[in-house]
Amino acid sequence: MDQERGLEFFHFSLHSDGKVTIRANCEIEDHPSVLRDIVYSLDETGYPTDCHVRLTLDDTFLGSGWFRITKEFIECESISPDLGRVSQRVDLDEPIDGFGTHPVVCDGYLLKVMDRSKGPHKSKVNCYLPSPDHRGATAPLLARVNIGTEYVGDEEITVKAGTFEAHHFRFIDDGTAGMDGQHPPYDVWVTADDDFIMLQGGVAEPMATWYELEWLERD
């Protein structure tokens, strides 16, 4: 309680053709500690195209993986000390809703797929992750999840970075997501604009974790 759990620095590249690339550096100061670097790209429609993940655990190399995402298949090339070189390909019955990458900024951005025109409601997000672990602290490999989500509504909030109009969402793990109901409810607030920048987030007991945006620069 009241101790720093970690830091995350992120950068959005908004390309003139509508494509987006998100870069995130995440430091989780739990034991064992996790250092994650992510480069994640989406096309002009918001559909994911590729992602690179690199991880260290307690300053020891854990793994590095590259993912290519299309509407027909997902493929992964990964290397780690425990597994060696791994190649995966999964054919898709239908396009996925998104690709989860584990930085909290990407948690918020993933929620952009929810249809807010329906008003407050619950839904499911069909996606793949590079790790089913709640910290993402395993060698990068494909893992399918069906995440429960809820659009709570809109409100104005104040964080260290300032006061913002925000969309309020909630991740819900009811046991059908592929994580066996192990993750407590996770509330997320993002900017109420096209960027969906993570403003704050809170995970309930027993994790009892709080995230807050400290500063933001926009060009």
**What are the tens digits of pLDDT across the range 106-162?**
999 999 999 999 999 999 999 999 998 888 999 999 999 999 999 999 999 999 999
The pTM score is 0.92
Q: What is the pLDDT of residue 134?
A: 82
* pLDDT attached to residue 2: 78
Cβ–Cβ < 8 Å for 211, 200: yes
78 within domain boundaries: yes
Q: Is residue 106 part of a domain?
A: yes
Assign 3 a pLDDT band (cuts: 50, 70, 90): confident
Tokens of 17: 């053709």
- The tens digit of pLDDT for each residue in 29-59 reads 988 999 999 999 999 999 999 999 999 999 9
Report yes or no on 20 lying in a domain: yes
The Cα–Cα gap between 218 and 13 comes to 11
Model confidence at 68: pLDDT above 80: yes
- Which tokens hold the place of 8? 């995350």
The b-or-e profile of 163-188 (16+ CB within 10 A means b, else e) is ebebbbbbbbbeeebebeeebbebbb
**Domain count across the chain:** 1
Report if residue 175 sits inside a domain: yes
Domain that residue 119 falls in: 6-212
What confidence tens digit (pLDDT) does each residue in 147-182 have? 999 999 999 999 999 999 999 999 998 776 555 556
Residue 1 lies in a domain: no
Structure token pair of residue 42: 């989406």
Q: Does the pLDDT value for residue 28 go beyond 60?
A: yes
Query: Is the confidence at residue 23, as pLDDT, over 60?
Result: yes
